[in-house]
Amino acid sequence: MKRSLFVELRAARERKRPIAMVTDLESGAQALVDDKESLGDLTLDKLQLVTVREAIGLDKSGKLADGKTFVQVYAQPPRMIVVGAVHVTQALLPMAQTAGYDVIVVDPRRAWASEDRFPGVTLMTDWPDEAIKMLKPDQRSAIVVLTHDPKLDDPALLAALDSRAFYIGALGSKRTHAKRVERLAELGLNERAIGRIHAPIGLPINAKSPAEIAISIMAQVTQVRRGAPRRVPDAEAAA
């Protein structure tokens, strides 16, 4: 590894920025790839760059399809940014942490976002859009919006949709989300952008309690992150 690439790799790891070292196993040429650029003497085409960045998102090292290019991913734990210090959040956090996520809870309501309710968890009491911008979600970040209050949800979603987060979900019924879509469209977001939001949040398992809703959310986040195919319920398929 060239010294310049080693220095850049070390700096990326110190900043907790996910990055991958790509090596041509025949020539020994190497490149460092993150979500924005590629550095080094190995030139990668667009398809290879897309594949490498997908590997970073999945934290998956290994050979590319050509069999001669190896990707070594260096990444910190994935993050889950939860907007809303609510009951569902209390049930979701231990599940996310067990699955290996670094969890941050954002809620400007200090009575809700307290150490007593969320011991040992990183809490931010900034306004949601400001917090998300500060956290700079990348392709290894999931953003879960649970306040069920448009004054908090809408700014959070606007900031989330301006990020590279691999998952964005929002709590609410189909009717609630339809109204949300109208508001976001009035703010200038197009159908494709709004379509990134998973809402109603979670897999359709008829969840009722906070714990059940948390299970459905964690399952959907995992499904999206791992690229698992979406199974269409019978009732939905027949519609």
pLDDT tens by residue, 154-166: 999 999 999 999 9
Locate 67 and state its tokens: 């069999």
**Within-domain flag for 231:** no
**Within-domain flag for 234:** no
**Within-domain flag for 237:** no
**Within-domain flag for 121:** yes
Domain count, the chain: 2
Residues 118 and 52 in one domain: no
Residues 59 and 102 in one domain: no
**Is pLDDT at 188 greater than 60 in this prediction?**
yes
d(CA 180, CA 38) in angstroms, rounded, equals 38
Residues 171 and 90 in one domain: yes
Average model confidence (pLDDT) across the chain: 89
Overall residue count recorded for the chain in this entry: 239
pLDDT tens by residue, 26-36: 999 999 898 88
Q: What is the percent of the chain with per-residue pLDDT over 90, rounded to a whole number?
A: 65
d(CA 49, CA 34) in angstroms, rounded, equals 9
For 123, the domain range is: 79-225
Residues 152 and 67 in one domain: no
**Is pLDDT at 108 greater than 70 in this prediction?**
yes
Residues 86 and 15 in one domain: no
**Within-domain flag for 125:** yes
Yes or no: say if 52 and 20 are a contact pair by the CB < 8 Å rule: yes
Q: Is 136 left (phi over 0), alpha (psi -120 to 50) or beta?
A: left
Residues 154 and 192 in one domain: yes
**Within-domain flag for 236:** no
Domain end position, chosen among 74, 97, 113: 74
pTM of the model: 0.75
**Within-domain flag for 233:** no
Residues 162 and 45 in one domain: no
Domain end position, chosen among 47, 74, 101: 74
Residues 62 and 85 in one domain: no
**Is pLDDT at 233 greater than 50 in this prediction?**
no
Q: Is 125 left (phi over 0), alpha (psi -120 to 50) or beta?
A: alpha
Q: Identify the CATH number of the domain in which residue 203 sits.
A: 3.40.50.720
pLDDT at res. 5: 85
Residues 117 and 174 in one domain: yes
Domain end position, chosen among 19, 41, 74: 74
Q: Which one is predicted more confidently, 220 or 18?
A: 220
Yes or no: say if 170 and 199 are a contact pair by the CB < 8 Å rule: yes
